[in-house]
Amino acid sequence: GVECVITADDEVYDVNKISYKRDHPILKKGTVNCNRDEIAAVAARTKEIADKAIQLIEVEYKIKKGVYDPFEALKEEAPRINEFGKGEEQFGNKNIAESFHYEHGDLDSQKAKSKIIVKKTYELPRVTHACMATSNITAEFNNLDGRLTLWSSTQVPFLYQRDIAHALKMDPSKIRIIQPIIGGAFGSKLDMHPFEPICALLAKKSGKPVQILYSREEEFILSPTRQPMIIDLTTGCDENGKFTFREVEIIKDNGAYTSWGATTPFVMMQTFSSLYQVPACKFDSHAIYTNNPFAGSFRGYGNPQATFSVEINIDLMAEELGMDKDEIRLINANYEGEITGQGMHFKTCGAIPALEKVIYKSGFNQMNNESKSGRYKRGIGLASMLHVGGGAKIYRSDGCGTILNLDYYGYLTIISGSSEIGQGSETVLAMIATEELGIPVEKIKIINSDTNFKPWDVGVHASRTSFVAGNSLLGAIKLLKEKLNKKASELLNVLTEDWEYIDGKMRFNELEIKTDKVVREIHFSPPHELCSVVYFYEPPSQLQDKGFKGNVSANYAFASQAIEVEVDTITGNVKVLNAYVSQDVGRVLNPLGLQGQIEGGIATGIGYALTEEMIYEEGVLKNPSFHGYKILTTTDMPSVNFYPIETFDEAGPYGAKGASEAPLIPTAAAIANAVSNALDIRFYSLPITAEKVLKALSEKKKGELVSN
């Protein structure tokens, strides 16, 4: 029942290394760097046979001492962890995988102006995406024409096509990527991982289709995680509460190999430099090789970690200054027209309205000052966030193509470069087409899952799909309307461009004609054309310069959250009672879908704040299941009160901004501030578990006894 076996010594194994830094061998030979490394692969007729065959493979290991702490890995005496890393020549240390430095303003003069300076260290954990569907790939290799078809749950099909081609030393044009319906991604499928080219190699060697499907335990052990990191943050403000500077140094546990997750400082530095008005900022971040599993991309892309540290430091500055926590945020809030030190241009900005909305709706000041007596102590916390809302130019093109075909019976086919991974983009595109062309949703078909047919799009990331694909669709519809308007005017002998599209008909004043009839006339009468158009939209964003300055997004999203918690001082349990969420979404396109994004983001944020953590001992995961790794259930969800702010940004479709990552970003910070408000105890690490709460309460009680 075994079809084939491959190792790094196999003749079919003529490959390149993969990953963002090209430091990751697909199959390992001679050395392994972490517990989840791939050494051999088996293809068999059934999963059971494959499992038995794997168990028969014997591997001899020479044990070496691993390095699991990034600070230990930085020491001169530490061994070189990844032989393909270039840290020595690029960054002066063999175990540095990637570094970022950014600064603006006069740091020294702003420090001198500061009445209050707060310096704190924050520790953020490793967490998993917990997608409903586990990772999988199906590969079919045609030995006659050398073409490879992959059914992949990738978020970035065209970049994935390029990366698979690089890995397998193939012509990209001979690789077809088909995206089946998947159960979520949240950043986990931004990178290509070793099991994917391995599947292709097995298909090539066996001559048969091969599928790899992770079990839930394998998903926990083998999939990338959010980056664990240590953040040292120093911030200042003057006597009036105006922020003066931020200085930050970050050490990230990169794991044994380097994924796109190493580039999260692109986003993190935006929060440190530009969330609120910041006259001076210095930012340094280093991703360090360790023998832990590698970290990857995750919803928010480093922003939840950055926001956690910034927002707690703001609370601490307000406390030292004796200023209300809402007031210090309002006087420093971002504003419309602002150009930040990093060069981001906030042409529209709902930061102040969002803050004011959650402060008012939550009764923040009243709750903040309530008595904290009794077993159950309640508290409320405030936090805000900044994130890209109009794509993010990290590649030469951040655009999206659209092909439209309107057939003779009034059915519209939208072939979009965008991808659907559960975020609801197909619904938004159908709603836009219905709004513009008066075609019922049931007559609209969307094709977006096959690189053989769909036009270019960089992929799902940076909350960009509704913005970029929506604008691309509107551009295509404009071209389609030009064709329809011209022919309708000819048929009804009227000179106008002011046609209305309603219920499958075109109307001008009292004149009316069915849209499908106009389509037939376009095709069957001279000059005999198809009612098809092609359009490509490229957003007006910029690639950042070498100093990481530039207007990287076409617009920016802002949000604030006030979260109310109740802490049981006997058990240590923290319960989230109410979440008040206000977000600058530009314009609401799909109210129900937006509410779902908000609630889903809040759920992820609460888990990050209170329960979720991957526990490792010497690189081995100890809780690879939903029994040991605790994500929220529906019964854990609070009441979510959502108040959208519409700023009608001219760059977005109908004024909309990207909205999907923002709801998660400030949640953990707001919860941490709420727990502090309830207990008068600060927590600088996540998750804030019952065990941590009880330990902190015990230490506080001991301190009070000593002082008495």
At 181 the pLDDT is 87
Domain hosting 6: range is: 2-63+129-222
What does the pLDDT read at residue 477? Answer: 99
Give the residue among 565, 573, 577 at the shortest CA–CA distance from 372.
Answer: 565
Judge if 27 and 164 occupy the same domain. Answer: yes
Token duo for residue 319: 């406390």
Residue 1 near residue 44, CB atoms below 8 Å = yes
Whether 427 is in a domain gets the answer yes
Pairing assessment for the beta strands 444-447 and 412-416 based on DSSP bridges: parallel
Same domain, 192 and 269: no
What letter does residue 463 receive in the DSSP assignment? T
CA–CA dist 113, 676 (Å, integer): 28
How are beta strands 280-289 and 96-104 bridged, if at all? antiparallel
**473 plus 340 within the same structural domain:** no
Q: What is the pLDDT of residue 369?
A: 75
Spell out, as residue ranges, where the chain has pLDDT lower than 50: none
Q: Which amino acid is at 371?
A: S
Do residue 352 and residue 205 come from a single domain? no
- Domain final position from 167, 188, 222: 222
Residue 79 within any structural domain of the chain: no
If asked whether residues 412 and 518 sit together in one domain, one would say yes
Residues 138 and 6 in one domain: yes
pLDDT of 706:
67
Query: What amino acid occupies position 96?
Result: I
Query: Which is it for strands 376-388 and 280-289: parallel, antiparallel or unpaired?
Result: unpaired
565 with 520, same domain? no
In a domain, 139, yes or no: yes
Residue 68 placed within a domain? no
**Would you say residue 109 lies in a domain?**
no
Query: Do 240 and 182 belong to one domain?
Result: no
pLDDT of residue 395: 82
Give the count of domains, the chain: 3
Residues in Cβ contact with 478 at an 8 Å cutoff, skipping those fewer than 6 apart:
535
Looking at the structure, do residues 494 and 618 belong to the same domain, yes or no?
no
Regarding whether 636 and 502 lie in a shared domain, the answer is no
Extended strands (E) in 409-520:
412-416, 444-447, 500-502, 505-508, 511-514
Instruction: Report yes or no on 102 lying in a domain.
Output: no
Residues 531 and 575 in one domain: no
For residue 199, give the CATH number of its domain: 3.30.365.10
Vertex 532 angle, CA 528 and 538, to 5°: 140
Q: What is the structure's pLDDT at 295?
A: 95
Assess whether 314 and 202 both reside in one domain: no
- 8 A C-beta contact, residue 26 and residue 202: no
- Residue 80 placed within a domain: no
Whether 173 maps to a domain, the answer reads yes
Task: Give bridge partners of residue 237 from the DSSP assignment.
Answer: 116, 243
CA dist., res. 697 & res. 708, Å (int): 16
- Kindly tell me the sign of the dihedral angle through the C-alpha atoms of 35, 36, 40, 43: positive
Single residue among 492, 514, 537 that ends a domain in this structure: 537
The model's pTM: 0.96
Domain termination site, one of 499, 517, 537: 537
| Alpha-carbon distances, residue 608 vs 142, 532, 575, 631, 656 (angstroms) | 44, 47, 14, 9, 28
What does the pLDDT read at residue 708?
54
